[in-house]
Amino acid sequence: MAGMMPQPSGEGDCQGVRDIVKIRARLNVQTVPMEHPCLRCGACCACFRVAFHWLEADNFAGGVTPPELTERLDAHRLVMRGTRSCPTRCVALVGTIGEAASCGIYAQRPSPCRELLPAWENGEASAQCDRARAAHGLPPLTPADWPAPSRAA
């Protein structure tokens, strides 16, 4: 069936996993399991108007944002449905803010969503992220929310 991933059928199918485990052991690399903070937040999707040029939703012009999830703001801009009203909640937001949330069109999200970086993901504060989280009673992210792989001594 197209689009289906093959399931492991025997012992030989696990060799790749064993190789990765051996490489990690040899390099003595420890990974810290973490869930991306955005996957338990969603505050920005329920705080800001998401306005962008209409070409981002025009399939013929190479746009990828689904046009059915947008509405016209003015002659040159569209907004994601739900971000122009009060209370604000983008139609593409899936889940519960502050618990488990994600973008239902992540790969197709418009430029304002791509450009809004979560605080400290790249080592820098984000006033927009902090403001959105505060609006929903969530504490600001800190550098500690972004653990990185470390080498054991």
Q: Is residue 51 part of a domain?
A: yes
Integer Rg of the chain from CA: 20
Instruction: List, in order, residues 6 or more apart from 144 with CB less than 8 Å away.
Output: none
> Is residue 78 within a helix (H) or strand (E), and if so which, with residue range?
strand 77-80
**Residue 98 belongs to domain spanning:** 37-139
Q: Is residue 152 part of a domain?
A: no
47 vs 80: CA distance, rounded Å = 12
Q: Is residue 70 part of a domain?
A: yes
| Inter-residue long-range contacts of 61-64, CB under 8 Å, 24+ positions, other chains counted | 64/107, 64/108
Partner residues linked to 30 by β-bridges: 150
Q: Is residue 17 part of a domain?
A: no
pLDDT at 44: 96
pLDDT at 67: 97
Whole-prediction pTM: 0.72
pLDDT at 129: 97
pLDDT at 103: 95
Q: Which two tokens mark 3?
A: 């689009």
Q: Is residue 11 part of a domain?
A: no
Number of domains in the chain: 1
What's the one-letter identity of residue 147?
A: P
What's the one-letter identity of residue 90?
A: C
Q: List average pLDDT for each run of 10 residues in the chain, which is 153 residues long.
A: 39 49 50 70 96 97 96 98 95 95 95 95 94 96 78 50
Q: Is residue 153 part of a domain?
A: no
Q: Is residue 9 part of a domain?
A: no
> Is residue 111 within a helix (H) or strand (E), and if so which, with residue range?
helix 111-115
68 vs 33: CA distance, rounded Å = 37
Q: What are the φ and ψ backbone dihedral angles of 7, each rounded to 5 degrees? A: -90, 145
Q: What are the φ and ψ backbone dihedral angles of 43, each rounded to 5 degrees? A: -60, -40
pLDDT at 1: 38
